[in-house]
Amino acid sequence: MSRRDTILSSLKAAAAFGVAATSPLGTLLAGPAAADEASPLAGLRYGAAVRDVPLAVEPEFRAAIARHCRQIVGEGGLKWYDIRPTREQFVFDAPDKHMAFATANGMTLRGHTLVWYGAMPDWTKAIASASDAERLLVGHIETVMGRYRGRIKSWDVINEAIPDDPTSRSDIRPSIWQQRLGEAHFALALRTAARVDPEAQLVINEYDIEFVGDRYRRRREALLRLIRDLKLRNVPLHGVGLQGHLRGDLAIDREGVAAFTAECRAMGLAVLVTELDVIDDKLPGPPEVRDILVAAKAYEFLDAVRAGSPIDSILTWGITDRHTWVPTYFKRTDGLPNRPLPFDAAYRVKPLARVIAHVLRDRR
Ligand code: G3I
């Protein structure tokens, strides 16, 4: 599908969204309004990823999180290289601060993440045996989940288990855990997590399953194969996290996504959107146009998700365009700042915030 067609389909989605929302398209997709506009998201099952520096030194950031969110997740802080600088050490400074902020503001904290190929400290490369790997993985989950038992209510136990471009349904992403323990490490981690905190929602989290195209279809199939296998063996698993790092220039596979979420629902799994943002490096420059296309892309995605299953909650990977990972990998060639998140760099409400609010309010 050409870029022109993709943008046209977004505009069509924007128009469709207008009708669906029975609200004047103008208001929902209107440009950034004053920072004091009432929060469209307050009280809804919405949350955002937080970063340590702005949380510590930026009052506007803290105020925006407190005003709009019911849930937060650390963009970092609970990853292995944050917590385990050495084999012997556990460092909880960052997640303790996230938990303190959440508690002080009547919010919950999500846990991200216990088993991931990424963000691993170098010393883990020396894990040489299956018994050592099992001891370390189980010990890590016991210590980390044990510390936040009953306080962190939802965990990304498994993150990005599927290779970037799987060639078969049984493909699993290489990692030290896969290398030392094989696919059994997923069940080991989930069973350990359920033993340590039987009340916690245990989630498998993944990216790039939303778009039209063979690669994305194969990723959905490989993820579903793994989930079905875990469910068949009664491994405790309660939810699927769709990260939702949407490419503004790629078409959403509505049928594929709806069928995926419908199957997850049929297996008794909650469907969460865990890291929503819209990567806008290939979208037109003018912010007022780009913001509408960003919102329309998110609506296209969220509407496809809820066509198969209710959406448990929506988290964005950051809250303001001022603090986002997107330019690290998707800097715009025109030099304009990226605008992937629901609030702009001045914390003004953007159409994306209204789209998320509309979808959360309009629970089907
Ligand atoms: O904290 C260190 C700092 O001490 C050091 O000076 C600096 C320079 O190397 O690095 C800082 O660590 C960075 C860390 O973010 C904290 O800002 C790491 O280099 C950097 O790689 C890390 O990037 C994070 C990335 O995950 C890897 O953990 C991004 O902020 C974060 O947005 C990204 O989030 C991932 C999700 O976990 C999973 N899904 C995709 C998503 C986006 O890639």
Residue 113: asked if its preceding bond is cis (omega within 30°), the reply is yes
Given this model, what pLDDT does residue 38 score? 74
Domain around 221: 3-361
Given this model, what pLDDT does residue 362 score? 85
Cβ atoms of 71 and 110 within 8 Å: the answer is: yes
Round to whole Å and give the CA distance between 42 and 65.
Answer: 10
Residue among 317, 320, 326 whose CB has most ligand 1 atoms within 8 A, to mutate:
317
Closest C-alpha to 256, from 208, 220, 298, 297: 220
State if residue 344 touches ligand 1 by the CB under 6 angstroms criterion: no
How far, in Å, from the CA of 175 to the mean position of ligand 1?
18
Residue 60 has pLDDT above 70, yes or no: yes
Mean pLDDT across 208-219: 98
Counting residues of the chain whose pLDDT is more than 70, the rounded percentage is 89
Closest C-alpha to 307, from 362, 230, 231: 362
**Token reading at 95:** 């997640």
State if residue 110 touches ligand 1 by the CB under 6 angstroms criterion: no
Round to whole Å and give the CA distance between 280 and 171.
Answer: 30
Residue 330 has pLDDT above 60, yes or no: yes
Round to whole Å and give the CA distance between 248 and 265.
Answer: 27
**Domain count within the chain:** 1
State if residue 243 touches ligand 1 by the CB under 6 angstroms criterion: yes
Q: DSSP for 212-223?
A: SSHHHHHHHHHH
Alpha carbon distances (Å) from 27 to 9, 122, 143, 293: 21, 50, 48, 15
Closest C-alpha to 161, from 120, 195, 194, 207: 207
Q: Name the residue type at position 50.
A: V
Instruction: For helices 254-266 and 214-232, give the axis angle rounded to 10 degrees.
Output: 0
How far, in Å, from the CA of 100 to the mean position of ligand 1?
22
Cβ atoms of 159 and 149 within 8 Å: the answer is: no
Q: Which residue has the tokens 């929506």?
A: 314
Cβ atoms of 357 and 48 within 8 Å: the answer is: no
Mean pLDDT across 25-54: 78
Residue 26 has pLDDT above 80, yes or no: no
Counting residues of the chain whose pLDDT is more than 90, the rounded percentage is 88
**What average pLDDT does the chain have?**
93
How far, in Å, from the CA of 155 to the mean position of ligand 1?
19
Given this model, what pLDDT does residue 3 score? 55
Longest dimension (CA), the chain: 61
Model pLDDT for residues 102-145, shown as the tens digit of each residue: 999 999 999 999 999 999 999 999 999 999 999 999 999 999 99
Residue 230 has pLDDT above 90, yes or no: yes
Instruction: Grade residue 27 by pLDDT with cuts at 50, 70 and 90.
Output: low
Cβ atoms of 276 and 314 within 8 Å: the answer is: yes
Given this model, what pLDDT does residue 39 score? 85
Given this model, what pLDDT does residue 33 score? 54
Q: Model-level pTM?
A: 0.94
Model pLDDT for residues 251-297, shown as the tens digit of each residue: 999 999 999 999 999 999 999 999 999 999 999 989 999 999 999 99
Round to whole Å and give the CA distance between 194 and 141.
Answer: 10
Secondary structure element (H or E) that encloses residue 81, with its range: helix 80-83
State if residue 325 touches ligand 1 by the CB under 6 angstroms criterion: yes
Given this model, what pLDDT does residue 128 score? 97
Mean pLDDT across 205-227: 98
Residue 24 has pLDDT above 80, yes or no: no
How far, in Å, from the CA of 75 to the mean position of ligand 1?
8
Instruction: Grade residue 35 by pLDDT with cuts at 50, 70 and 90.
Output: low
Given this model, what pLDDT does residue 21 score? 47
Protein residue with least CA distance to atom 1, ligand 1: 82
Given this model, what pLDDT does residue 19 score? 47
CATH number where 63 lies? 3.20.20.80
How far, in Å, from the CA of 51 to the mean position of ligand 1?
10
Model pLDDT for residues 74-112, shown as the tens digit of each residue: 999 999 999 999 999 999 999 999 999 999 999 999 999
